[in-house]
A and B are shown apart, each in its own frame.
Chain A
């Protein structure tokens, strides 16, 4: 227990210090974590051998991240990506493997050379996607292309893992046995003993794989919704979080059991759930776990850098690292040109994916275990992979500081590619929120509807209104609903106090977002106004006026006259609202606020006065201008 507390303290401490500093210096959080890892690992020697186990555990962060990315991609969008996924991704992997292998052939046996090619062809999903998200690049062309390549690589890992045992070197057999167990499938659980498919024939294995994928797709589509609905009805938030984690871990386990990539499985589950009403709730529940685990993963990468090996063969390692970055970058740049990415995105794509990645560690461990690579070479390559990951944030800085400024001049038309901005968040889909939403959607505005009642969300979805389950007062849920890019929010939740709290929160944290709130009554209106909403609307005021106007018409008042009276009333009432606000006291009940009651009486009297005078002599403000000039006025005009 002491050991656990101590280690937890050291890792958290390193992260808490290094990451904000790195972020402040403009280096990005990933580099911060890596530096934190280097500090507590090779530099200060506070942590040691447990980092390797931790790393396997921390790879769960990658699994969670791919689940979240899947949630952002509706099946339709994934289908649109098929060309770049297969074309860009496929060509990247094959070209990089071919070139790296060809160069490695000059130095080592062809089998080792091919293994090296496979190891170095993969990029770091964790670093790249985390950085894309942090810098808001995920939805640019370059970001999408990068995601395609990374997804293809995740798929390609599976045949690579199958290929490596076939490359065993006769002369290495026997020397690498001690290293077994150091590397497994990503996700940290693919022990050979846990595989259900170890001894199966090829066709049987294919069937099992298909069945597993089908289970994820159909289970995700048909079983999760009733399950989540049932759990949501219990209103126990931590159980919902537990269910979300259970879902992701369960799929990861299933995938490991059939020797598939857990990251890929959860990605698929994410895509299946991207259309579900629980999407934003799942996102905000999983997000913190993903963030911490990924952070831990980056720390272990930093901590795992072996300074002994590094200093012994410094120039070899540095040379190889730079060499592989240049080689991968060249392949990527050529592909970016071939696929005609926008100019700025070509550089982003090239620099972002030029490193080797965490799957490289996995393949290295696996190669060692299968006697494909000699241990000394594997150690050097391990270092090359880690160093290239360490350099990735630096390449992003190069992109930000050197390339982006130069492009910003002539690159104007490409800026529109970042989609999905300026939406309106509607908090609460009751009678009020519904009409607001329908109006906006009919006008072509993109809305995100949130409600904490799963049954209401279900009803809305049944009639074709895109809405999501979750408590709109939760900051993390608002964030995953896109509040940061939203143009406005409509606060239409039933709970009066929470509506005010939400308004206060929005003003404090997102002052840029336009704030419209539904008020239950005058007191609520004033509370919302004090909280800083741009506009508060009394929910039944307009409909009551309409009823009043209808009665007037029934009683024989000319329809246009009735309309003018209603307008006069509305204006008068608006003035009253302004005046009474000055006398309003939050801490004093309105029925006990003597000054305010006095003013209410006076205003009510003048209201009556205004409309009755209107009837009597037609000289109210509502009649102004349509009032004929005095009789005989024309006699003077000619003079």
Chain B
């Protein structure tokens, strides 16, 4: 695969980032829409609004696989629906991550690519732990995605998550979150993220400053 990146040795190398956005009622979105608009405006980041491209759920498998091949970092962006992705993004996984393409015999197309999930959750952060009403941390709940990435040979990064998303605007947390989002996408694009260190974290956005090297060329993994 021409786009495979050796782990941890890609300092400064430019990566192509693909953001697959899934929101069935984006017109009512308060957090995901500003995030989507920010991502769409970034140079070097391909932004795809899945519900806009496939309103009837008729996903063009060839086109989506070509997109995956052309990018090095794959990111899902969506609100958390029943501890998972919205239906179209699940349909996308069912159709696009084919046997022989993404996994199984000859299925090596995605090997070495980075994968992470950017989600917004309605519940407060306190709910996402063993004592909270959701009983599991967000990283635990997203284990199906983590394992999907693993089976496809991708490098899984922990989720970039916003809790209490329904009140983020009122509580003035939106700007910071969108700012972090842009910073993360840019750093991934420019190869400035400490992948090894990030892999073990519960969430990406908790330690963003420690994970991202400053913009002028600096080595990953310092």
Contact = CB atoms under 8 A, between A and B. Distances in A.
A567 B54 CA distance: 13
A637 B94 CA distance: 18
Contacts of A637: 103-104, 151
Given A630-B99, A633-B99, A637-B151, A625 B104 contact: no
A625 B95 contact: yes
Contact of A625 (B56, B98, B151): B98
A624 B64 CA distance: 13
Contacts of A636: 104-105
A510 B118 CA distance: 44
A633 B95 contact: no
B94 A624 contact: no
Nearest to B94: A625
B58 interface: yes
Interface string A624-636: 1110011001001
Contacts of A625: 59, 61, 94-96, 98
Nearest to B91: A625
State the main secondary structure of chain A at its contact with B. loop
A546 to B, nearest CB: 14
Contacts of A624: 61, 95, 98
Nearest to B59: A625
Interface in A601-639: 621, 624-626, 629-630, 633, 636-637
Given A636-B105, A637-B151, A629 B95 contact: no
A636 B95 CA distance: 21
Interface string B34-75: 000000000000000000000010110100000000000000
Task: Name, among B56, B59, B94, B99, the residue most crowded by chain A CB atoms within 10 Å (CB to CB).
Answer: B99
Interface in B78-114: 94-96, 98-99, 103-105
A629 B99 contact: yes
Contacts, number: 26
Contacts of A621: 61
Interface residues of B, number: 13
Contacts of B105: 633, 636
A571 B58 CA distance: 10
Contact of B104 (A571, A626, A633): A633
A637 B106 CA distance: 11
Task: Name, among B58, B94, B95, B151, the residue most crowded by chain A CB atoms within 10 Å (CB to CB).
Answer: B58
Nearest to B151: A637
B50 to A, nearest CB: 15
A571 B99 CA distance: 24
A578 to B, nearest CB: 15
A630 B99 CA distance: 9
A636 B58 CA distance: 31
Contacts of A571: 58
Contacts of B56: 567
Nearest to B98: A625
Given A637-B104, A637-B151, A626 B94 contact: yes
A256 B98 CA distance: 84
Interface string A565-589: 0010001000000000000000000
A567 B151 CA distance: 31
Contacts of B94: 625-626
Contacts of B96: 625
A633 B105 CA distance: 8
Nearest to A629: B99
Contacts of A633: 99, 104-105
A408 to B, nearest CB: 26
B60 to A, nearest CB: 10
Task: Name, among A621, A626, A633, A636, the residue most crowded by chain B CB atoms within 10 Å (CB to CB).
Answer: A633
Interface of A: 567, 571, 621, 624-626, 629-630, 633, 636-637
5 contacts: A624-B98, A625-B61, A625-B94, A626-B95, A633-B99
CB-CB nearest 7 A-B residue pairs = A625-B95, A629-B99, A633-B104, A625-B94, A624-B61, A629-B104, A567-B58
Interface of B: 56, 58-59, 61, 94-96, 98-99, 103-105, 151
Given A571-B58, A629-B99, 11 more contacts: A567-B58, A625-B59, A625-B61, A625-B94, A625-B98, A626-B94, A626-B95, A630-B99, A633-B105, A637-B103, A637-B104
